[in-house]
Amino acid sequence: MNISKAELIYRKNVLWNVVAGIINAAEAVIIVAVVSRVNGLKDAGILTFAFSVANLLMTVGKFGVRNYQVVHESEEYSFQDFFHFRMVTVGIMVVSAVIYTFYNLRIYDGVSQKMACVFWVCMWYAVEAFEDVFAGSFQARGRLDVGSKMFSVRWILTLCAFIAADFVSKDIVKSAICGFAVCFISGTVFIIYTYFKYMDKNKWHVSKGMGVLFKESISLCIASYLYIYITNIPKYAINTYLGDETQAVYGYISMPVFVIALLNSFIYRPQYVLYSTEWKEHKIQQFSHRVMRQMLVLVVIVVVCLLGAFLLGIPVLSVLYHENLSPYKVHLLETLFASGFLAVGGFLANIFTVMDEQKRAMLIYLVVSLAGRVIIYHMAAQYQLSGAVWGYMITMILLAVVFGIAYVGILKKAGHDRC
């Protein structure tokens, strides 16, 4: 049977999106697992916290503009707009990392190793944030696979460099610096190679300019920042009240949190352009059916993941991190259950971007993040690790419910306006 070129590219898109998603989910897991065995529980806790800060600052570097770029590049903006804009936002990210590092060094005693580790892990993600603007442009051209390949190979090389350095030095700061060197060099090579091979540099000169792009995307940036902040509030509360060892334990049991969202994205991300097309063409019924099908897929994913975690989660994690995690089985199931609601919120936030309702998504994240900080900090102070997990679960349920109510309201209004 002959396969058309379009079908072959779509299959590549799906395959490499899955590979990149798996690596994205596994990168922190692998590094923390190695550090837990080679360096011990305290250093594993430091790395867990470093990843949470780096992911938060990366939202500034990416500015939440990836999906907006996929939908609007070629119609309203040129690639040059997104490229120059990303240079500015990544610069702000790097400056923010420097300020955060020195601020904590001045305020707190005995955190020099922790802050140095946080800074260099942030630099890994600065490379990723810059690379992402090219990946977004490739995706807008129907080549999601190209950006996914860049991401996958660069992270594999970075992981290998960090692990090799840590086995030799047993120093997480030196290992993070080594990882950054490999990350920066490989990222630069891949960007240059793919740009000249795949980018049509004479196409899409239409432009609204960076000022308009900033106004359109600021709400996306804030929403992305708050999304990561919400997911990491327990880690910040633990850092305040409970210490690095408890941080490591929470990191172990919460590592699967993003698995459900990533598995969900494997399916809907290759269809993102279809969501956009159906909405722009006023095919409200088809659009809503596609969203509902994805929600049903998400329910199946949650059930399967919970069953797997119940049967195998603790034994696998205990072996992986070289720690007895049996006392935390209930907490593992609770965080995984909560991650299903997180996936609902994250998916609907992307759908809101398609519907040009990113400001509403930002407001939802803002309200839920404020509520979540109060809930989680209070419960962590009162009930320690158990309180942090319970507070997280309550916050994720609240996030999904509010997004769901808002989505139904927007859809009803759109159906009424476009009849």
Where do the domains of the chain lie? Answer: 1-208, 242-419
> Tens-of-pLDDT digits for all 419 residues of the chain?
566 777 787 788 878 888 887 888 788 888 988 998 898 888 888 888 898 889 889 989 998 788 778 777 666 778 888 888 999 999 999 999 999 998 888 877 667 888 899 999 999 999 999 999 999 888 888 788 888 899 999 999 999 999 999 999 999 999 999 999 999 999 999 999 888 877 765 555 556 677 778 887 887 788 888 888 888 899 889 888 887 788 888 888 887 776 776 666 666 666 666 777 778 777 888 888 888 888 888 888 888 888 988 888 888 888 888 888 888 899 999 998 998 898 888 888 888 878 878 788 889 999 999 999 999 999 999 998 999 999 999 999 999 999 999 988 888 887 655 54
Stated pTM of the model: 0.77
Is-contact 244 45, C-beta < 8 A? yes
β-strand partners of 73: 77
Q: Give the position of tokens 């040129």.
A: 78
- For 331-399, the DSSP string reads HHHHHHHHHHHHHHHHHHHHHHHHTT-HHHHHHHHHHHHHHHHHHHHHHHHHHHHHHHHHHHHHHHHHH
Q: How much of the chain is in helix, strand and coil states, percent to nearest 5?
A: 90, 0, 10
Angle, in degrees to the nearest 10, between helices 329-354 and 244-254:
70
Start-end of H helices in 255-357: 257-268, 272-280, 284-308, 314-321, 329-354
Nearest CA to 50 out of 129, 104, 130, 107 is that of 104
Is-contact 365 398, C-beta < 8 A? no
